[in-house]
Amino acid sequence: MTKATGKLYGLGIGPGDPELITLKAYRILQSVPVIAYPAMENGKVLARAIVADYLRPEQIEIPMPLPFSPTRSSQPYYDLAAEKIAAHLSEGKDVAVLCEGEPFLYGSFMYLFNRLSARFTTEVVPGISSTMASAAALGVPLTYRNDVLSIMPATLDAEVLRDRLAVVDAAVIIKLGRHFAKVRDVLIELGQFERALYIERATMPNQRIRAIADVDPAEVPYWALIVIPSQQKSVS
């Protein structure tokens, strides 16, 4: 008789506040024997920190080192992580991969999904994205009626950002970090700078909301984004 394999979960755990996790993610998190999570090479592990209070000591943990560097490919790291996860799944153990925010929105889980979902039963549990949580934290409605919302990474070239942002009703620009100055200059050029709102580490204990004009580009962390809310003020 062949042994049953385990199930792979992509677990959306929300933007940072441990209470912004779904009941389903919480239940799965507590029941699986193995958890895996992205870890920066310097050892920082945000996803694990978000759910640290919910973990059990007997759970097996697989930290997945990722380079988080523009000059080094993450793909060999995902190959390695997928192998480690596959070994547990093959032994019949369920594995939950922790994903900050929503797994299928710019989430690193997607690279494991691509490698493993054809071989193992996989379930993605959606999470509250930082893009939604940031609008709530900033207290700004994102979209009314026929508004179109665009979510884009700050890593795009300035010309592409300019073309995209020129036509948005509302937008969220993620992956800011060292790209902040480029985005700021494009927003100024397009006359959208006054509308733009800046937030760091939304819903985390060290959340910071700053007037965008006061932001020092040298100090913008990776966990920061810009919201350009709807220009409509009210709907009758």
Size of the site for ligand SAM (CB under 6 A): 24
169 belongs to the binding site for ligand SAM (CB under 6 A)? no
Say what the alpha-carbon torsion angle 158, 68, 171, 127 is, to the nearest 10 degrees: 170
For 133, list phi and psi in degrees, rounded to 5: -65, -35
199 belongs to the binding site for ligand SAM (CB under 6 A)? yes
Instruction: Using the rule CB under 6 A, give the single segment among 35-43, 105-113, 114-122, 178-186 that binds ligand SAM.
Output: 105-113
CA distances from 105 to 12, 53, 110 (A): 10, 25, 9
Return d(Cα 101, Cα 99) in angstroms, integer.
Answer: 6
Which CB atom, from 155 or from 192, has the smaller least distance to ligand SAM? 155
Residue 128: which of 116, 117, 136, 120 has the closest Cα?
136
Which CB atom, from 35 or from 173, has the smaller least distance to ligand SAM? 173
Beta-carbon contacts of residue 231 (< 8 Å; ≥ 6 apart): 169, 195
Which CB atom, from 88 or from 215, has the smaller least distance to ligand SAM? 215
Minimum distance between the CB of residue 221 and ligand SAM, rounded to whole angstroms?
A: 8
10 belongs to the binding site for ligand SAM (CB under 6 A)? no
Minimum distance between the CB of residue 23 and ligand SAM, rounded to whole angstroms?
A: 19
DSSP assignment, residue 181? Answer: H
Instruction: Using the rule CB under 6 A, give the single segment among 59-67, 81-89, 125-133, 185-193 that binds ligand SAM.
Output: 125-133
Among 32, 116, 124, 130, binds ligand SAM (CB under 6 A): 130
Beta-carbon contacts of residue 155 (< 8 Å; ≥ 6 apart): 70, 175, 179
Taking CB atoms within 8 Å and a gap of at least 24, the contacts of 65-73 are: 65/39, 65/40, 65/41, 66/38, 66/39, 66/40, 66/41, 66/108, 67/41, 68/40, 68/41, 68/222, 70/155
Instruction: Using the rule CB under 6 A, give the single segment among 26-34, 47-55, 66-74, 219-227 that binds ligand SAM.
Output: 219-227
Minimum distance between the CB of residue 82 and ligand SAM, rounded to whole angstroms?
A: 18
16 belongs to the binding site for ligand SAM (CB under 6 A)? yes
Among 129, 183, 198, 227, binds ligand SAM (CB under 6 A): 129
Would you tell me which residues interact with ligand SAM (CB under 6 A)?
15-16, 100-102, 105-107, 129-131, 134, 174-176, 199, 201-204, 222-225
